[in-house]
């Protein structure tokens, strides 16, 4: 019975672990063409839906790793075609400060700190969720109706504080147990996935073991911590072409990989220059007037021969490896190389976006400021441990019931035998 009690308590704990799971999908583009493909791939615009206010209003919230605030676009903003939040229709909306603050590093230009009821997944809610009501957006996000920021810190001069982040608010309101989160693609072909906030995978999924979790501290760049990690070596195939430490910035909102000058020169030398007629070097200019270089190869090029790109971190003794399947995107017979380069080559930090998230399930620890992965899967099947424990408990309970029933029948049978015994004294025989 003690064993059953322990198992029951374990199952109770697993069922009561607090994670927030937000399903996401990708913004579609109906005007995709060969001449704008790489510009379309440049952004990885994934979003989830929340409900806000009284009565409820549905709002699409874009998910970003390198933005800090959570903002919702006001219906007073006239640009863009999405359905925005009308704060005047909500009876639970409140301004925390009616003074508009100007923001220069975020995706909105100015806004007010406000609170309202926010519902997540129709199950969880925060009655006084704090967010920025954005009154003006930057040009590149003018279609956005809202944004969830998962960055570690607000800028030093910003009025937005760390305790106002969405993760801290979820923890404060007892919706999640911990400060970790991960972004998991469940259908990479249709760009569907889940943002899971709250606990490590090994605490509720037996495909992952705690001993397999390896992690490293995040980068410290330009005066603040950023999601990413240092690499000690970068390899093209087995050739170590960079031995100095490099910053790798992780950015789910970026659909590509941005490389540096060393990689540009090396990969041209050993691959693209060999196919000068089949692989074309092109460029495009973004709204911010930055020009980027990229490569396109036709179907005559065997991209299976393309050398792996490996990022080595000596602290965790692990290589993040991207092969030709991760590094090329096929569209109408042409293969687009997903590593692009700033034509000025002023920025030497690598930025890795969607390709690494498709291949690796990366854990982000908001509290300890570190990133990690599980080195391997321990079990060959995907069956949550909670259900294994449930089955064990059911078997034990059934065994206990059967055992009790059998004992009961034995006791009844024994009593029946005793009741049928002839207690009359035998006649005395005289000799």
Look at residues 192, 175, 170 and name the one whose alpha carbon lies nearest to residue 183: 192
Find the helix packing angle between 385-419 and 2-15, rounded to 10°.
150
Domain chopping of the chain, boundaries? 25-198, 210-374
Quick one: CATH architecture of 210-374? Beta Barrel (2.40)
With cut-offs at 50, 70 and 90, classify the pLDDT of residue 11: very low
Query: Are 25-198 and 210-374 in the same CATH fold?
Result: yes
Residue 162 CA to residue 159 CA, distance in Å, equals 10
With cut-offs at 50, 70 and 90, classify the pLDDT of residue 292: very high
* Position 157 pLDDT exceeds 60: no
How crowded is residue 22: how many other Cβ atoms within 10 Å of its Cβ? 20
**Mean of pLDDT values over 49-75:** 96
CATH topology of domain 25-198: Cathepsin D, subunit A; domain 1 (2.40.70)
Question: Tokens at residue 374, please?
Answer: 């599980």
Residue 298 CA to residue 330 CA, distance in Å, equals 10
- Residues 156-176, buried b or exposed e (16+ Cβ, 10 A)? eeeebeeebbbbbbbbeeebb
pLDDT digits 0-9 by tens, 195-218: 999 999 999 888 899 999 999 999
With cut-offs at 50, 70 and 90, classify the pLDDT of residue 311: very high
- Residues 214-250, buried b or exposed e (16+ Cβ, 10 A)? bbbebbeeeeeebbbbbbebbbbeeeeebeeebbbbb
**Mean of pLDDT values over 63-70:** 94
Helix (H), strand (E) at residue 402: helix 385-419
Question: Tokens at residue 309, please?
Answer: 């790109």
**Start-to-end C-alpha separation, the chain:** 62
Tally helices (H) and strands (E) across the chain: 7, 29
Question: Tokens at residue 322, please?
Answer: 């991207």
Contacts of 140 (CB under 8 A, 6+ apart): 107, 287, 288
**Mean of pLDDT values over 261-288:** 94
Residue 197 CA to residue 20 CA, distance in Å, equals 5
Q: What pTM, to 2 d.p., does this model score? A: 0.82
Percent of the chain with pLDDT over 90: 63
Q: Pairing relation of β-strands 213-217 and 309-313? A: unpaired
- Dihedral angle sign, alpha carbons of residues 166, 167, 173, 175: positive
State how far Cα 41 lies from the chain centre.
19
pLDDT digits 0-9 by tens, 95-126: 998 777 777 788 999 999 999 999 998 889 99
Residue 363's φ and ψ, nearest 5 degrees, are: -95, 135
Strand arrangement, sheet containing 309-313: 239-242, 233-236, 309-313, 318-322
């Amino acid at each position: 019975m003690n064993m059953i009690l322990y198992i029951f308590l374990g199952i109770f704990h697993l069922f009561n672990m607090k994670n927030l799971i937000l399903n996401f999908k990708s913004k579609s583009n109906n005007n995709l063409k060969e001449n704008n493909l790489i510009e379309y791939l440049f952004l990885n615009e994934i979003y989830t839906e929340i409900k806000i206010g009284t009565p409820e209003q549905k709002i699409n919230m874009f998910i970003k790793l390198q933005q800090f605030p959570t903002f919702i676009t006001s219906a007073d903003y006239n640009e863009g075609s999405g359905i925005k939040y009308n704060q005047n229709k909500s009876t639970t909306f409140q301004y925390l400060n009616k003074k508009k603050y100007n923001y220069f590093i975020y995706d909105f230009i100015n806004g007010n700190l406000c609170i309202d009821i926010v519902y997540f997944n129709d199950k969880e809610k925060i009655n006084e969720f704090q967010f920025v009501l954005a009154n003006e957006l930057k040009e590149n996000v003018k279609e956005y109706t809202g944004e969830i920021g998962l960055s570690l810190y607000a800028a030093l001069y910003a009025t937005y504080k760390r305790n106002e982040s969405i993760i801290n608010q979820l923890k404060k309101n007892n919706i999640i147990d911990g400060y970790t989160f991960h972004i998991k693609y469940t259908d990479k072909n249709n760009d569907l996935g889940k943002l899971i906030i709250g606990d490590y995978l090994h605490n509720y999924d037996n495909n992952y073991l705690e001993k397999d979790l390896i992690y490293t501290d995040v980068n410290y760049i330009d005066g603040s911590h950023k999601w990413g990690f240092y690499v000690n070596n970068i390899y093209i195939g087995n050739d170590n072409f960079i031995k100095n430490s490099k910053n790798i910035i992780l950015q789910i909102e970026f659909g590509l990989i941005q490389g540096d000058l060393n990689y540009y020169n090396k990969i041209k030398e050993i691959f693209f220059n060999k196919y000068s007629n089949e692989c074309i070097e092109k460029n495009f200019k973004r709204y911010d007037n930055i020009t980027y270089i990229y490569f396109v190869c036709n179907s005559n090029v065997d991209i299976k021969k393309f050398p792996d790109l490996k990022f080595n971190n000596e602290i965790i003794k692990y290589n993040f490896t991207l092969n030709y399947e991760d590094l090329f995107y096929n569209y109408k017979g042409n293969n687009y190389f997903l590593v692009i380069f700033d034509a000025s080559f002023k920025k030497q930090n690598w930025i890795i976006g969607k390709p690494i998230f498709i291949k690796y399930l990366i854990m982000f620890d908001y509290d300890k400021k570190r990133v990690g992965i599980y080195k391997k899967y321990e079990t060959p099947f995907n069956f949550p441990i909670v259900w294994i424990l449930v089955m064990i408990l059911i078997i034990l309970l059934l065994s206990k019931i059967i055992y009790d029933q059998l004992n009961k029948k034995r006791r009844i049978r024994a009593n029946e035998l005793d009741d049928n015994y002839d207690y009359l004294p035998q006649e005395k025989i005289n000799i």
